[in-house]
Structure 1
């Protein structure tokens, strides 16, 4: 959800008392379209984040300290020149527009006390951060001329013009004025068009500070359905709609708020200043302040974006190696097919040797009896007229020996490539199912150790006392009978879990011949198998954390850890076993969900 004008009103109302009177201590620009102002005053310090990106334009106080570039960007240097040491004297919003102005006082180069305005314009892809002294622009985070905007230029020295007004109705408590705006009575053509338009679209078009989400909420809280059209509304419907408008879209200094953050499948989905009916099916978290709510939302969103970017870059590396291996396999297959077809040359050489006396010098072919076949069929063998019959036989022996050598050399290469492809498939499964940056970092380390990517410089996160890397932390779940089930998060964890963590008598599970996680059920001394419920639920987890997720009647192999071995020169997580049992299972959704909820 983007910051709409109403939400910004409440955010300004909340933060202005904290920010006014503070002084700018430092200024950083950690990202291309994001500036951090480090403020001190009133016995407190704050990090004010100002973002002018197309998808996440906003402002709020944050505790996240991002890494800064070695060389500060030009706009950052300009802000430092004019605003370092400056005092914030006002934080203002233009009506319910998404235009926030921070007013500073500071001494200029001449030693005079000057007033500076830092305008944060939250306008989607046109969002910007512009520093102004008096009426002229000092500079903007994004510069553009009349070639991009006929209305105004954002260039040093040009006069600052606020974004053009959209002519929307400012908050009003007069229902007649509100209805007139809703019907577009100032424009008769507009009025006729409005009648057949959806209420949500009309509210968005006519009322200041309203976003698509808020417009939808106004309609729902009025007891109407989202697709309701204006012509379908009676007088009572409009009265209820006005009341929901007064309650949600007419912010007042004393209006109470209850900031909420909504989650969909553990991912932050939206934030609101009051509980919204449209999100009632989602899990909700309440916050004491709107700033904390908004900050948490964008922190989670940023983490999610970073997670997906990291996942995407690692997947690209793996997929590129897969494509390269696939090309090599095609070459191996063609080479092997050609070599196999050349194995017949041994028989040709032996048939020629047995019939040398019958072959005429200079002949281009000869027909002999194929005594390798029961019915002695006639076989015509091509000859090189430039060679003697014996030389032709020796040539076929050489071609056979070459084909045999090619087979002996290429078969291991093909098997190695197939094994590496299976390993890369397992990496892709781990990447798809990684839920955090540390998990992706473990996979990155594994890729570096296998030579697929460059290793990161600097030591890993070793224990300060022992100097050793900490033990991996596999996923841990509990069955319906309270038995622990351990699941590896990636290949290295799979290997550690099976070959180092687990006892020889513990039970090991893995989906048959499909990339996936190793699953361990710890067993007590003298216990051969867990109860049936735990066995089935461990198998369900093995399926869920594999490439077979969502499939039915999936074969899951299980055996004791003592039967598991790592093949010589095998890749991480690759194991072999020759004694096992197989369970065919279609996991039930409710069982898997309960298991996942039991995770630590």
Structure 2
């Protein structure tokens, strides 16, 4: 479903129950549109994500790791000034809209009590996060400054009065369901009823309205079914659902989303699993723009080279034509006169059929013949050089296609390692004068159903270290066949068939074949890997591999992320 007013209602209920009365200990702004508040409540630290992202705006407790910028943005500094150490009084929803209010109380620099609020408005591209003084309702600061000439309805700049977005003439369903019974009678078709529910009640996205319409038509006592349906949002049973159209989420059993379901204990945990890939891709795109541009430029440059080489080889295939023309000019030299631009001579290589030959009127007959022989010799000798250069260009294309595939599956922290690799290989310049030693992050850890540790490298530096340094020689190495992907290590010399298949599915998922139905995966012991001298990071050769075909499965990836190590696996890791 969508993160509409109804889902906001459920999330606010969860956040308030968990966080109210807690204290804001730390404030971070790792990304331009997102804030993390570390709130200490009930003897636990909760990282609370407040996102004003145009596509992924939401509020939740998020355990997804992030990296802070070296210098905190101005908005984060302002939040620290007013909120660090403050107590969170309550988390509230404004009516049934996509607006959440975080009320806080603390002390200012003079020791006086200061009450402030954070208003998170989740309105698509108009999403924003406001820090507001409760006494005056003045905007202290906001995460997106919008000049007056871009928004004439209300002030979206520091110092302006905080005014709620324009209100629609709709009913809050948690205050009243007046009119719903009449809508059911007046609109017997589900699509039309859903449309009317959206127009009549507050906080309904299209998918939520369709869901309620289906529930009402399946239950004989419609109003009782409606009250029960709304009550589910206060006691959700979160689940991710894999449908034919892809992955979706719901706060409880959702009739209009049939498919494979994975249950979660909280809405926040469910959203972490759902948004981990989507928001990570967006964050990667934000942070990796320079890296992506460098990789694309190198890829395009080498693809252009290969295209040019093919054209030159095609010309070389016609080299014999130049030789024939040179020999005909030599044979019939007496027929060629200086100043001619072309001549037609009998081709004794082709039953004396006439062959038209272009000539330069600036040189004599002998020089024209020699010119054709020169072109013939040049093309013939160039073939070896062209093939060598084409092979190099094809290796470069494979390398950069592999990097693009890695960027597709990378997390934000992986981008810096890809950047360092490009600098080491001479494709990018060092941004700072001070030379920094590359710190290679650890591969991602998964645990098979039987508890066996499986590690997945996300970039070439991780792959290199994982496969050639940290893995035991008897461990099993996996990689997609003939396509870019991650190095996967099963830390077991004799894994079960089920574990081997799970490792293969991880290799398929973290590869360019992620969206394919049948992905071949090679596997063999690490001892059979070889790294050629002078080869690029992450490049290995091998022989004697076995191959298994698998289908990537996101739900399995999530399950293996949550699995716990077996006792013997944990001991081995230590």
**TM-score category, normalised to shorter length:** 0.5 to 0.7
Q: What does residue range 185-224 of structure 1 map to in structure 2 within 5 Å? A: 198-224=192-218
Runs of 5+ in structure 1 lacking a partner? 186-190, 225-235, 463-468, 479-485, 525-537
Q: In 1, Cα distance between the equivalents of 2:529 and 2:516? A: 27
Corresponding residue number in structure 2 for 1:465: none
Name the structure 1 match of 2:58: 58
Within a 5 Å distance, the mapping from 1:125-524 to structure 2 comes to 125-128=125-128, 129-141=130-142, 142-144=144-146, 147-171=149-173, 178-180=177-179, 183=182, 198-224=192-218, 240-250=221-231, 257-264=235-242, 269-272=248-251, 274-287=252-265, 289-299=266-276, 301-306=278-283, 318-338=295-315, 341=318, 364=340, 373=349, 398-418=374-394, 420-421=396-397, 451-452=426-427, 458-459=436-437
Q: Could you tell me whether the CA contact under 8 Å between 1:169 and 1:181 is conserved in 2?
A: no
Contact 1:20 1:89 in 2 (8 A): yes
Matches of 1:44 and 1:85, distance apart in 2: 15
Aligned position for 1:49: 49
Distance (Å, rounded) in 1 between the aligned partners of 2:261 and 2:289: 28
- Counterpart CA distance in 2 for 1:374 and 1:195 is 79
Change (3 A) 1:452 1:351: same
Structure 1 residues 403 and 88 mapped into 2: Cα distance closer, same or farther (>3 Å)? closer
Distance in 2, matches of 1:51 and 1:558, equals 41
- Once residues 157 and 517 of structure 1 are traced to their aligned partners in structure 2, the CA distance between those partners, rounded to angstroms, is 50
Larger RCO of the pair (alpha carbons < 8 Å, separation 6+): 2
TM-score, with normalisation over the residues of structure 1?
0.64
Equivalent residues of 2:302, 2:397 under 8 A apart: yes
Following the alignment from structure 1 to structure 2, what is the Cα–Cα distance between the partners of residues 555 and 75? Answer: 48
Distance 1:487 1:86 in 2: 41
Superposition deviation, residue 565 in structure 1 = 9.4
CA distance in 2, matches of 1:197, 1:31: 39
**Gap change, CA 1:455 and 1:477, over 3 Å in 2:** farther
Q: Size of the alignment, in residue pairs? A: 546
Distance 2:278 2:150 in 1: 30
**Aligned residue in 1 for 2:122:** 122
Q: Summarize the Cα distance change of 1:332–1:134 in structure 2 as closer, same or farther, 3 Å threshold.
A: same
Q: Tell me the secondary structure at the aligned position of residue 55 of structure 1.
A: coil
Tell me, what secondary structure is at the counterpart of 2:78? helix
The SS at the match of 2:138 is strand
Deviation at 1:246, TM superposition (A): 0.5
Q: Sort the Cα spacing of 1:393 and 1:54 in 2 relative to 1 into closer, same or farther, 3 A.
A: closer
Unmatched 5+ stretches in structure 2: 450-454, 494-502, 564-574
State the 1:391 CA deviation.
6.0
Return the offset for 1:368: 8.2
Asked if the contact 1:101/1:119 (under 8 Å) is kept, the reply is yes
Matched residue SS, 2:97? coil
Aligned-partner SS, 1:166: coil
**8 A contact 1:271–1:297 mirrored in 2:** no
Alpha-carbon distance in 2 for matches of 1:9, 1:179 = 19
1:336 and 1:407 in contact (8 A); partners too:
yes
Q: Deviations over 1:56-85 (max 9, x none)?
A: 333333445633334433333333333334
Change (3 A) 1:394 1:87: closer
Q: Distance in 2 between matches of 1:16 and 1:476?
A: 34
Is it true that 1:36 corresponds to 2:36 in the alignment?
yes
> 2:177 is paired with a residue of what secondary structure?
helix
Distance (Å, rounded) in 2 between the aligned partners of 1:516 and 1:64 = 23
Quickly say closer, same or farther: Cα 1:447–1:161, change in 2 above 3 A: closer
CA distance in 1, matches of 2:88, 2:148: 32
Whole-Å separation in 2 of the counterparts to 1:410 and 1:197: 63
